[in-house]
Structure 1
C-alpha cells in the first residue's frame, strides 16, 4: 500500500518530535548560544552556516 503523500500537521509534528528526541538520545546537541547566533543572521547579507552538533 502506498503511503499518503500528504501528512496531517499533527503527523508531521509527531514525526519531527520523535526525530528530535532520537537526536538527543544519540547525543547530538547544539548550544543555545550557537543556535541564537545562527538565527540572528538568517536574514542578513552573510548568513551563518547551520551550527554543528556536538
Structure 2
C-alpha cells in the first residue's frame, strides 16, 4: 500500500515540475524571468561578503 502511495506522489511531483518548467519557458519567450526581485543592492551584497570574510577569519 505504501509503495502505491509513494508511486502516486512521485508521479504527481513529476507533473508539477514539468508544468512549472513549461510555464517558466513560456514566460522566458515573452521576455519575463522567474523569481522575485533581489532583496539587496549590489553594494549591500558586496558589503555582506566583506563582513562575512572578516568575521569568519576570527
Q: TM-score, normalised by structure 1?
A: 0.43
Greater share of helix residues, 1 or 2? 2
Structure (1 or 2) with the larger CA radius of gyration: 2
